Each structure stands twice: as structure tokens, then as C-alpha cells.
Amino acid sequence: MNAHPPADTRRQGIALVTGASRGLGETLGGFLAQEGFHLIATARGAQALDAATRTWRAQGGSVEALAGDVTDPVHVAALRARVASRGRLDLLVNNASELGPSPLVELSQLSLPELRRVFEVNVVAPLALVQQLLPWLERAGGQVVNVSSDAAVGAYPGWGGYGASKSALDLVSRTLAEELRGRGISVVAVDPGDMRTAMHQAVSPDQDISDRPLPSVTLPFWAWLLHRDPADVSGQRFRAQSDRWEVPP
């Protein structure tokens, strides 16, 4: 069984972040680059990803970017090749998410093709990346972070499709944590909380969301998580905007 490397060692390793061009992904990508990770960043929007990459590099980060859709097998194969060229993967952050139609609609009105797309992005794609990158996660004693949502545990009108997909992702995370523990791979789910992002604005285009915190509000949590032994937190679900976080006894 692979031993989990100490946090300081992992911070010199390789991180892959999906949905890295804006919002939480952009904030987290910049943080990881500053923490010493070599960052492999991906997102659908090539221009926004390029702009984020230039910013991270100007701040001294070691970054490579590859634009594409995480549901596209060709793109996933390209990400796999990038990771393979580095020889290891210390951190995989499955942050790319699909909200569904905007504004949101009730489940009774949600088209099945739209629902399938939500599940493809939010559940199938994260699992596919884990499957494809497993050898390099195992080599590094790596950690998988699946970005969840408070909608996964609520029953908010209009959020049914998105919430159901994130609830499924939570179960995938817990199951993978149990199945991969013996291979030295840690898996956690993280609910980042309500934030001022383009995705949240898309929920209600006419609503003023200026009172929501920016994604940087989650940075204390990420700093805390990176200093934990991954084996100690595997299988847990964290709320990034909590007052405190605890490692289970």
C-alpha cells in the first residue's frame, strides 16, 4: 500500500483542476500554484482559461492549461497524457459543474436531455477522470477532491437536477474513498457554500448577488485541507465556509 506523503511534500507535486477558468476553480488554481504545485488547468472556455493562466504565471506559478470539455473522451485522453508526462498526480480537483437550464426550472419541467447533461458533467466525468488517472494518483498517494453543493442535501425548488447530481457525487466520493483506501488514495467531497460567481448569477439573472462572498472566502479551508494527512480525512464531506473543520477521531 502507498503511504500518504506529508502535506509539505504534496505541495511540491502535481495538481489537476477542472473548471479552472473562473469562480472557485480560478481562485483555487491560483492558490495551488502559489502553494508550489505544478498546476494542470482545464476548462471549456479557452479565452478565460488563457487569461487565468497568464495571471498565475505572472505570480510565479508553474502552470500548463488545456481547454476542453471533461465529458469529451478525446479531451480526457489528452489530460491523461499530460498527467502521464509528469509521472504522478498528487491532487485531482473535480470542480467543473453543469447547472442545467438558466433560469432554473422545476423537475417536472426539466427536459431529460438537460438532466442527462448535468449528470454527465457532475457525476460521470469526475468518475471517468479518477478511472483514467488512477495509476498516477496511486503512485503519488494522491487525493481526489469532488466539489459538491449544499443543494446535494436540500430540496430547493428549481435545484432538483443539479442537487440530485451533487448528491450522487457525494455517494461516489464516499464509495471511492472506501474502495481506494487500500491503494493509498484519499477522496473527499467539499461543499464550497454560496458564493458570488457567474454560475450563481445564472440561477437568477435579475437577482443582486453582491452580498455573497467571493470564492476567496474558501481559501482558509483549502489551506487547512492541504496540511492534513489525506488518509485522515478520506471519506469525509466538508463545508468550506464552516467556522472550523475537524478530522474525525
**Contact between 2 and 183 (Cβ < 8 Å):** yes
How far is the CA of 233 from the CAs of 6, 30, 36, in angstroms?
A: 13, 23, 22
Q: Which residues contact 89 (CB under 8 A, 6 or more apart)?
A: 13, 14, 15, 16, 83, 133, 136, 137, 139, 140, 142
Residue 64, all three cell numbers? 500548463
Considering 162, 221, 222, 238, which one is annotated as catalytic?
Answer: 162
Helices (H) and strands (E) in the chain, counts: 10, 7
Q: From CA 46, how far away is CA 66, in angstroms rounded?
A: 8
Q: Which residues contact 93 (CB under 8 A, 6 or more apart)?
A: 15, 16, 17, 18, 25, 28, 145, 147
Q: From CA 91, how far away is CA 14, in angstroms rounded?
A: 6
User: Would you call 162 a catalytic residue per the annotation?
Assistant: yes
Q: From CA 135, how far away is CA 141, in angstroms rounded?
A: 10
Residue 203: enclosing H or E segment and its boundaries? helix 198-203
Q: From CA 13, how far away is CA 93, in angstroms rounded?
A: 14
Q: Which residues participate in catalysis according to the annotation?
A: 162
